[in-house]
Amino acid sequence: MKQLLLAIGMLISVTSLAQKEVVSAYNANKDGDFRTAATYIEQAILVEKSAVKDKTWRYRGQIYLNIAADPEVSIEYPNALVLAKESYLKARELDVKGRYESEILQGLNRCQVQASNNGINYYNAEAFDLAGSNFDIAAEIAKIYNVVDTMAIYNAALCYEKAEMPDMAIARYYECAEIQYQVPNVFLFISTLYRNVGNDDAALNTLKTARESYPREQSLIIEELNIYLTSGEFEKAKTNLQIAADQDPTNEILWFSLGSVFDNLGNTEEAEDAYLKAIEVKEDYFDANYNLGALYFNQAVQGINKANDMWKPRMTSKEASAQKKLESDAKELFSTAKPYLESAHEVNPEDLQTIRSLKDIYARTGEDEKFKVMNNLLKAAQN
């Protein structure tokens, strides 16, 4: 009998202790002493009798939510909001009859609002990793209500990107893609993140997958093009650019880029045509004018070199005629290059390569005054 009474006495003592800790936590929280409240509630959940009661966890959720909302105290409890969310979820699990469903959901809603506010504040303070984790909390709580918080997911991705946490950012951007939020832009963001870590294959796979859903999306085509150009895969770049240019014929940048690709492939006629289309769209486009002028200029130099290579002390009339034609064609090409290089010079008078090319052309075409101007510009630049 003594043993039985002792056991009952111990049970009453433990129950009393558990109840005391819960009540003390409640009162401390009510008085705004959140640190003390947290200490008491943590002791309470270690006692089995109180750990199985929804009330204990509801109080714990309230305490940590108050801590999370307190700028001073929250510094000491960086996981306060996570603990508040987990506590309310545990309370909901234990509240089998649903008596406190409204109160628990209200607490979770407050956690979501606090998480969003924290995310914004951390973002403004450039603590991007903390901002991202708080937006994650907001998105997770929304799912409890069967709601997709698109802004929270997107903001988390942006914050993780700024925090240089690419894996986390990519995962969140993919979530955005799955719910059709900010598409197709998110695919560009993912591609850029992959490229930043040197994974061009993953970037290309992302773009190819995206283009299955958005086959005519200009931005995806351009991004894929940039990867091909960087890696020197000009044939693949040409295909992409041709699609993009045909789709947007008033985009001078596309025509210029296509001309550059043809140039690199040695397709001079196609390059010439593309550069001319770029200039038709934007007459004072420096890059297109310079590249087209350079194309003609280089052809002229090649002709002069061939003519020089043909020279020998004794030449047949046929050989002399062929040499003369090469020189004549080269001079004509210099004249063809001249207006485009002059246009480029008007747009950017300080570009030395343009000045050198014009100086050479004026020397060959006998335009002495213009030659002197270019020569003086070069001297001034060198001094």
Q: pLDDT per residue over 129-155, tens digit each? A: 999 999 999 999 999 989 999 999 999
Counting beta carbons within 10 angstroms of the beta carbon of residue 318, is it exposed (0 to 12), middle (13 to 18) or buried (19 or more)? Answer: exposed
Give tens-digit pLDDT for 270-304: 999 999 999 999 999 999 999 999 999 999 999 99
Give tens-digit pLDDT for 96-125: 999 999 999 999 999 999 999 999 999 999
Could you tell me what percent of the chain has a pLDDT over 70? 95
| 182 secondary structure, DSSP code | S
Residue 286 backbone dihedrals phi, psi, to 5 degrees: -60, -55
- The pTM score is 0.71
The confidence score (pLDDT) of residue 18 equals: 59
Listed in sequence order, the residues at least 6 apart from 226 whose beta carbon sits closer than 8 Å to its beta carbon are: none
Could you tell me what percent of the chain has a pLDDT over 90? 71
Res 14 pLDDT > 50: no
- Sign of the dihedral defined by the CA atoms of residues 79, 82, 87, 88, in that order: positive
Average pLDDT over residues 342-364: 95
Tokens encoding 360:
């050479």
Residue 9 backbone dihedrals phi, psi, to 5 degrees: -65, -40
At residue 232 the predicted structure's pLDDT band, cuts being 50, 70 and 90, is: confident
The confidence score (pLDDT) of residue 354 equals: 96
The confidence score (pLDDT) of residue 17 equals: 53
Average pLDDT, the chain: 91
Distance CA 311, CA 307 (A): 7
At residue 253 the predicted structure's pLDDT band, cuts being 50, 70 and 90, is: confident
First to last CA, the chain: 111
Of 208 and 174, more confident = 174
Res 2 pLDDT > 50: no
Task: Tally Cβ neighbours within 10 Å of residue 93.
Answer: 11
Distance CA 228, CA 206 (A): 14
Distance CA 80, CA 111 (A): 10
Res 371 pLDDT > 90: yes
Domains defined for the chain, CATH in brackets: 283-383 (1.25.40)
Query: Taking a C-beta distance cutoff of 8 angstroms, is the pair 49, 94 a contact?
Result: no
Distance CA 89, CA 61 (A): 9
The confidence score (pLDDT) of residue 164 equals: 97
The confidence score (pLDDT) of residue 310 equals: 83
Query: Taking a C-beta distance cutoff of 8 angstroms, is the pair 108, 88 a contact?
Result: yes
At residue 382 the predicted structure's pLDDT band, cuts being 50, 70 and 90, is: confident
Average pLDDT over residues 163-179: 97
Over its C-alpha atoms, the chain yields an Rg (Å, rounded) of 37
Q: Distance of alpha carbon 136 from its chain centroid, rounded? A: 19
Distance CA 217, CA 76 (A): 49
The confidence score (pLDDT) of residue 1 equals: 39
The confidence score (pLDDT) of residue 32 equals: 96
H-type helices in 95-233, by residue range? 101-124, 128-144, 150-162, 166-178, 185-196, 200-213, 218-230
Give tens-digit pLDDT for 41-83: 999 999 999 999 999 999 999 999 999 999 999 999 999 999 9
